[in-house]
Amino acid sequence: MEDSPRPGLAFTAVTEDIADVENVVRENRRVTVKEVASLLDISVGSAHHIIHDELKFRKVCARWVPKRLKPEMKQRRVDACKELLRRYEADDEAFLQHIVTGDESWVHFYEPERKRQSMDYRHTSSPKPKTRAQRSAGKDMLTFFWDRNGLILEHYMPR
């Protein structure tokens, strides 16, 4: 008894290509899936499967990398870290209770129109109105600082 050929997904094996794909990615970490596929003459789907599912590689984006710092900026960071470590060793847990952290972010604000302002006349045979994305009325820079107890300062700086 034998199975007759039937349509469907073809059986594929990617084990031979895994080492080649890994070598290509390790040579150039910025290579794209399409470039890997064309270099190794495999399909884009196979290249994607090997990179993401077999090798478990993920794309990571860094906006600002410390290696691009100037030597004096690197030295200032080292000095600051040494000073913080010295203070921690001297005061132990009391030092950690006085750490304040800050951040900043753009905050968009909207001026919604009232229901009555957004109403208009339509005939029963008129098409339904499409929802419109409302443009931001503006944005402010929000600067905030917090410690172990919570928010200390929240400051909105106009543009």
pLDDT tens for the 159 residues of the chain, in order: 677 776 665 555 566 788 899 899 888 888 888 999 999 999 898 899 898 888 888 876 655 555 677 889 989 999 999 998 999 899 888 888 888 999 998 887 766 666 555 556 565 666 766 655 556 667 888 999 998 888 999 998 876
The boundaries of the domain holding residue 149 are 100-159
pTM given for the model: 0.35
Q: What share of the chain is helix, strand, coil (3-state, %, to 5)?
A: 40, 15, 45
Structural domain includes residue 59: no
Residues 126 and 142 in one domain: yes
For residue 9, is it left (φ>0), alpha (ψ between -120 and 50) or beta? beta
Instruction: Quote the CA–CA distance of 127 and 117 in Å, as a whole number.
Output: 20
Residues 145 and 115 in one domain: yes
Cα-based distances in Å from 78 to 4, 59, 90, 129:
71, 29, 18, 60
Residues 86 and 105 in one domain: no
Residues 106 and 157 in one domain: yes
| Phi, psi of 29, rounded to the nearest 5 degrees | -70, -15
